[in-house]
Amino acid sequence: MLDQNTSSQAAPSDQDEVTLDALVIGAGVGGLYQLYQLREQGLSVAAVEAASDVGGTWFWNRYPGARFDSEGYIYQYLFDEALYKDWSWSERFPGQPEIERWMQYVTDRLDLRKNIRFGTTVTAAHFDEATARWRVTTDTGVTYSTQFLVSCTGVLSVPLGGLYPGEDTFEGDILHTSRWPEGGIDVTGKRVGVIGTGATGVQVIQTIAPQVADLTVFVRTPQYIIPMKNPKYGPSDVEAYKDRFDELRSTLFNTFTGFEYDFEVAWADLTPEQRLERLETLYEDGSLKIWLAGFAEILSQQDVSEEVSEFVRGKMRERLKDPELIETLVPTEYGFGTRRVPLDTGYLEAYRRDNVHAVNLRKTAISHIEAKGIRMQDGTLHELDVIVMAVGFDASTGALARIDVRGRDGRSLREDWGRDIRTTMGLQKHGYPNLFLTGAPLAPSAALCNLPTCLQQQTEWISDCIRHVRTTGQTSIEPLEATEDAWVAHHDEIANATLIAKTDSWWVGSNVDGKPRRVLAYAGGANTYKDKCRDVAESGYLGFRLT
């Protein structure tokens, strides 16, 4: 049973200055659980959230077709069996409305709303060395003085904008997928252009293709596409996955990517026929299994990467049939799994409809956007009523770098990360005492982890760390510079041996002009990472300065 009675609660108030033990920024998957844990510890804690309700990613991403690529039953909190089992998913990969309802269920069940101030964006957070407290400023005028500051600002929460000149001159609707209005916009019978074919673009395109009059997709880098199998769940399916609660709880935290499955067999141990058979079986599963439980060697060995990539290309060619579509939509420049693999439901087939056209940006680039549509560099104008920007995010560092975060000696996180993206285990940063990070660079995150698995582990580590500081009579904790150097070196050694490091995508920050290049997510495995985090805690935070 959950104890919903807490002795110390910090209800949001209209005071100009609120004093707290801990402030959590963000009320998504990480923030909600972090808030709950710190409140259960007896801290006076609150969360601030820019949105008008909980959900984070699942609040903002209301675009048509938004849904999980992780099975719903592994995208849940595992700390409380009743909380887990009293929620039932309607299908294997549920859609955004159902996910948002689940997040509201969790919020209400844990009675978290009273501790969250919505519609509030943090603008600055300055560490005061004299008091060892953070002073946090928000856009509503309310300020917080807090001992601990935990960032749960999300990996993919800052949409990219202003990519083309003339966006503001367009006479129709132009919108980023993660700022889709509640209630949607009516695209029926309209001429729609979609820029971007990542996991988001794939879901939008396959969903709106039958609704719109005309759909033009601007394709720059095509994706390896795996067809999703998404059966509806009846009572017996739901019962079956709930019966696996103990198994999932022990498995998810001990796999390479926080999924229920793992890499099992070595490429070199199988004959060519056995490899093919295994790839076929994994492909038929209709999930991310072919990527995350197939052959780990695809991430490091060029020859294996090429063979597995060719297997997936073959499947795509069979579905696309048309040579021009194959040229536009089948990737050849990078290896399978070195960028996020999207699951689809008729995405490739959508291009075979008469009302859908693929524009190959590798042949002719976009020049600019103007009143009537998108103008290409060869002079062609694509006339449009709606432009959907499925162009991605300033990932992992974007949200915190937009806050004026100042640590010891007035150092600026924006400037530090502008030079070089470094953290200690993605959980803290040298020079910023009592600042804790989740979903941050150099920890496993959306790139290489089932995010709820990693966010649960990271927030639990942070809660334990804060408990340690308080119960040992200390006031602050910060990683030593040498500790951070060692973590960065360890991270880089693993990351740079992978093909991910050589492949452009948000995973290495190459989608944002001027962002220092580094593989953002820890590539040593969520399981290994968890063990390393545990070792640090068990050592009494060796390598950290406690004062």
Question: Please, which of residues 330-389 interact with ligand NAP by CB under 6 A?
Answer: 340, 361
Residue 62, interface with ligand NAP (CB under 6 A)?
no
22: helix, strand or coil: strand
Q: What are the distances in angstroms from CA 528 to CA 109, 112, 258, 441?
A: 32, 32, 11, 16
- Which among 112-120, 194-202, 241-249, 374-382 is the span making contact with ligand NAP, rule CB under 6 A? 194-202
We find the least distance from the C-beta atom of residue 361 to ligand NAP, in angstroms, to be 6
Residues 150/25, Cβ–Cβ less than 8 Å: yes
Which residue of 94, 95, 154, 196 would you call a contact of ligand NAP, by CB under 6 A?
196
68 scored as a contact of ligand NAP (CB under 6 A): yes
389 contacts 196 by C-beta, under 8 angstroms: yes
Does residue 96 belong to the site contacting ligand NAP (CB under 6 A)? Answer: no
Residue 36 three-state SS: helix
- Interface with ligand NAP, residue 38, by CB under 6 A: no
Distance, CA of 444 to CA of 421 (rounded, Å): 15
Do residues 145 and 17 touch, judged by C-beta distance below 8 A?
yes
* Nearest residue (CB) to ligand NAP, 200 versus 207: 200
Cβ distance to ligand NAP smaller for residue 156 or 413: 156
x-marked contacts with ligand NAP along 217-256 as a string, rule CB under 6 A: -x-xx-----------------------------------
Select from 18, 48, 156, 466 the one that contacts ligand NAP (CB under 6 A): 156
Please choose, out of 29-37, 95-103, 213-221, 347-355, the segment that lies near ligand NAP by the rule CB under 6 A.
Answer: 213-221
- Is 392 a binder of ligand NAP (CB under 6 A)? yes
Q: How far is the CB of 223 from ligand NAP (least distance, A)?
A: 7
Is 200 a residue that touches ligand NAP (CB under 6 A)?
A: yes
Distances (CA, A) of 467 to 6, 43, 374: 16, 10, 55
Which residue of this chain has its Cβ atom nearest to ligand NAP in the complex?
Answer: 198
* 527 touches ligand NAP by CB under 6 A: no
Least distance (Å) from ligand NAP to the CB of residue 231?
A: 17
* 409: phi then psi, degrees, rounded to nearest 5: 55, 25
**Closest CB 259 distance from ligand NAP, rounded Å:** 12
Q: What is the torsional sign of CA 370, 372, 373, 377? A: negative
Nearer to ligand NAP, 136 or 205 (CB): 205
User: Which of 390, 455, 508, 523 is the binder for ligand NAP (CB under 6 A)?
Assistant: 390
Does 431 engage in binding with ligand NAP (CB under 6 A)?
A: no
By CB under 6 A, is residue 195 in contact with ligand NAP? yes
What is d(CA 397, CA 521) in angstroms, rounded to the nearest whole number? 11
Return the ∠ at Cα 447 (arms to 444 and 450), rounded to 5°: 70
- Cα 541 to Cα 84, 407, 489, 537, distances in angstroms: 32, 20, 19, 5
Among all chains, which residue has been given the structure tokens 């979609």?
194
Check residue 198 for interaction with ligand NAP (CB under 6 A).
yes
Is residue 325 within 8 Å of 349, Cβ to Cβ? no
Q: Which residues contact 393 (CB under 8 A, 6 or more apart)?
A: 156, 157, 158, 159, 160, 178, 506
Identity of the residue, 63 or 134, whose beta carbon is nearer to ligand NAP in the bound complex = 63
The crossing angle, in degrees rounded to 10, of helices 451-471 and 29-40 is 30
Residue 448-487 contact track with ligand NAP, rule CB under 6 A, x = bound: ----------------------------------------
Which residues of the chain form contacts with ligand NAP (CB under 6 A)? 67-69, 156, 163, 195-201, 203, 218, 220-221, 340, 361, 390-393, 446, 506, 511
